[in-house]
């Protein structure tokens, strides 16, 4: 699997019109119990209306595994958190409809579709 910096992931998704994801695990007693996922995704609407839509969005999902509670947020490029810019990403064939899944299901799908 290819590992990319934030800037390289952005270049990749703009060239491929695809997506890339990064994961920050949350551990307790040496076991991963959840975490944070950042997905950088090309914005298809940008091509038809570049004044209204950015080239990409940064989607954020966080929570504990096997919990229906969690956090979700989407950021425009200028608002992407510093935390998102400091992790590595993997290209993926992410489907936007998967972004609403519980975190462990989303992580499983992202890993299964990683390029």
Q: Which of 22, 3, 26 is nearest to 85 (CA)?
A: 22
Structural domain boundaries enclosing 32: 6-112
Q: Are 21 and 110 in contact (CB under 8 A)?
A: yes
What pLDDT is attached to residue 4? 97
What pLDDT is attached to residue 68? 83
What pLDDT is attached to residue 24? 97
The answer to whether residue 87 sits within a structural domain is yes
The answer to whether residue 65 sits within a structural domain is yes
The answer to whether residue 55 sits within a structural domain is yes
The answer to whether residue 101 sits within a structural domain is yes
What would the two tokens of residue 109 be? 């799908």
Count of domains observed in the chain: 1
Give the residue carrying structure tokens 């929570």. Answer: 63
Q: Could you tell me the pTM of the whole model?
A: 0.94
The answer to whether residue 52 sits within a structural domain is yes
The answer to whether residue 21 sits within a structural domain is yes
What pLDDT is attached to residue 2? 80
The answer to whether residue 1 sits within a structural domain is no
The answer to whether residue 41 sits within a structural domain is yes
* pLDDT tens, residue order, the chain (115 aa): 689 999 999 999 999 999 999 999 999 999 999 999 999 999 999 989 999 999 999 999 999 999 888 999 999 999 999 999 999 999 999 887 899 899 999 999 999 999 9
């Amino acid at each position: 699997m290819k590992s990319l910096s934030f800037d390289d992931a952005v270049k990749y998704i703009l060239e491929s019109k695809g997506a890339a994801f990064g994961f920050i695990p949350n551990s307790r007693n040496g076991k991963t119990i959840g975490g944070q996922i950042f997905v950088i995704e090309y914005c298809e609407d940008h091509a038809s209306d570049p004044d209204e839509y950015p080239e990409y969005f940064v989607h954020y999902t966080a929570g504990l595994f096997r919990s229906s509670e969690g956090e979700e947020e989407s950021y425009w490029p200028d608002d992407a958190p510093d935390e998102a810019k400091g992790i590595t990403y993997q290209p993926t064939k992410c489907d936007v409809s998967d972004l609403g899944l519980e975190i462990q299901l989303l992580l499983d799908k992202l890993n299964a579709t990683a390029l």
